[in-house]
Amino acid sequence: MFIPYRYGGNAKSGIDCSAFIKNVFASYQIFLPRISYNQAKKGAFIPKNKIKKGDLLFFSTGISKKINHVGMVTHTNNKNIFFIHASTSNGVIISQLYQKYWSHRFIMARRILFSSS
């Protein structure tokens, strides 16, 4: 699974978070904007207690509260929410929303995919 992080990257040699998410959705013919801030304007807002697999999680990792990072939920349980993303330090990895680092930077969740049931 290891693909290194590269700001502005969009290839297996290096990719950033928003390009990673854009590519995952594009493989299913769902086209999202290139930048995480703009991706956060798509889909529907989801409360934290309703987050499920496939939802997008948006974060602010800088001083401002502007969205600059995105990941996609891989699975949940009653204790945590797991998401895949391109980390600046570790490349494409799975992290947990309730880890201190991510929980303090979480801004919102959005649902792009809706089931027909």
Active site residue: 5, 16, 17, 59, which one?
17
Active site residue: 18, 81, 85, 95, which one?
85
Ordered domains of the chain (ranges, CATH): 10-111 (3.90.1720.10)
42-70 confidence digits (pLDDT tens): 999 999 999 999 999 999 998 888 999 99
Q: What is the mean pLDDT of the chain?
A: 91
Q: Is residue 85 annotated as a catalytic residue, yes or no? A: yes
Q: Is residue 62 annotated as a catalytic residue, yes or no? A: no
Q: Is residue 17 annotated as a catalytic residue, yes or no? A: yes
Spatial distance between the Cα atoms of 51 and 112, rounded to a whole number of angstroms: 12
**What is the reported pLDDT for 117?**
52
End-to-end CA distance of the chain: 32
